[in-house]
């Protein structure tokens, strides 16, 4: 009996998520940089592979970059570069990683960036999870990975390939072109525009209207929308709209039920 219990406990422990260890990254080294941001208006980040976090800070006139490079061998590790530059009022942070076919331990660079909260961000990222908060505005082009964007003062534009996407607390317009993965948007003062391939869409607590230009598949949930709701084309999946201050219009719908409640304007559905 005791042996059986030990086997069960051991199986449970093996099934649990394990903490990262040094063996997860064969060769690593820090990559750090600092840029003078006085007079700058824009920060352009080309991050490539790896985790990326960008935080806006008040009262700062510097961009501080803290990174950790990982590679399968020492030679490849040396080829992972963190480059910085300034051209006029734009600051640049660029990651360079070697190309090649990697069976295990592809090279990457994890980055944590602190920047003045008044900067506008242009970010290009190939893979890895991403978190951006507390800056003036954001233009993001991301290939894959989960994304969290919050506390953006003047608007957000995102083109995303795959992965979960969460956007909250935006003081301006939100425009999203999303390939696959769930999409959640809340607490937005400006209009919201969405093109989506697949995955659930949830939008709530907006002060302006919502336009869904195209949705391939997945449910659509809309709640407490401060203007009109226009769904131009929906492929498959249910649609539910509640507490809409303007019109609720669905122009084309493939399959899935449509439900609505407490719509102040007119309702037009197929």
Percentage of the chain lying above the pLDDT 90 cut: 87
Residue 13 has pLDDT above 60, yes or no: no
Strand partners of residue 186: 168, 204
Cβ contact 145:164 at 8 Å: no
What mean pLDDT is predicted for residues 185-196?
A: 98
What mean pLDDT is predicted for residues 247-251?
A: 98
Q: What is the mean pLDDT of the chain?
A: 91
Give the H or E element holding residue 11.
helix 2-15
Residue 7 has pLDDT above 90, yes or no: no
What mean pLDDT is predicted for residues 202-212?
A: 98
Reported as a single tens digit per residue, the pLDDT across 56-108 is: 999 999 999 999 999 999 999 999 999 999 999 999 999 999 886 666 788 99
Angle subtended at Cα 113 by Cα 110 and Cα 116, rounded to the nearest 5 degrees: 170
Tell me the CA distances in angstroms from 176 to 180, 195, 200, 239, one per residue in order: 12, 6, 14, 19
* pTM for the predicted model, two decimal places: 0.89
Cα 101 to Cα 55: distance, rounded to the nearest angstrom: 33
What mean pLDDT is predicted for residues 107-121?
A: 97
What mean pLDDT is predicted for residues 228-257?
A: 97
Reported as a single tens digit per residue, the pLDDT across 153-187 is: 999 999 999 999 999 999 999 999 999 999 999 99
Residue 19 has pLDDT above 90, yes or no: no
Least confident of 98-107, 125-134, 198-207, 230-239: 98-107
The pLDDT score that the predictor gives to residue 53 is 98
Reported as a single tens digit per residue, the pLDDT across 137-152 is: 999 999 999 999 999 9
Give the model's confidence band at 24: pLDDT under 50 very low, under 70 low, under 90 confident, else very high.
confident
Percentage of the chain lying above the pLDDT 70 cut: 90
Higher pLDDT, 12 or 200: 200
SS3 15: helix
């Amino acid at each position: 009996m005791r042996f059986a219990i030990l086997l069960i406990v051991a199986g449970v422990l093996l099934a649990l998520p394990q903490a990262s260890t040094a063996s997860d990254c064969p060769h690593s080294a820090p990559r750090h940089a600092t840029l003078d941001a006085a007079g700058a208006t824009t920060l352009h980040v080309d991050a490539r592979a790896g985790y990326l976090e960008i935080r806006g800070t008040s009262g700062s006139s510097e961009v501080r970059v803290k990174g950790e490079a990982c590679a399968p061998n020492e030679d490849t590790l040396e080829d992972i570069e963190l480059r910085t530059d300034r051209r006029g009022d734009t600051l640049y942070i660029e990651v360079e990683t070697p190309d090649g076919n990697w069976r295990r331990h592809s090279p990457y660079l994890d980055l944590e960036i602190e920047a003045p909260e008044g900067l506008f961000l242009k970010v290009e990222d190939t893979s890895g999870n991403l978190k951006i908060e507390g800056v003036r505005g954001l233009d993001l082009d991301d290939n894959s990975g989960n994304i969290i964007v919050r506390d953006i003062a003047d608007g957000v534009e995102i083109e995303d390939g795959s992965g979960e996407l969460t956007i909250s607390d935006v003081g301006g317009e939100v425009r999203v072109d999303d390939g696959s993965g769930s999409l959640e948007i809340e607490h937005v003062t400006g209009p919201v525009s969405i093109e989506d391939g697949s995955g659930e869409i949830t939008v709530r607590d907006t002060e302006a209207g919502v336009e869904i230009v195209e949705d391939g598949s997945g449910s659509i949930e809309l709640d407490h929308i401060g203007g009109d709701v226009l769904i131009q084309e929906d492929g498959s999946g249910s649609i539910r709209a509640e507490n809409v201050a303007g019109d609720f219009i669905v122009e084309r719908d493939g399959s899935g039920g449509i439900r609505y409640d407490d719509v102040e304007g007119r309702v037009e559905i197929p």
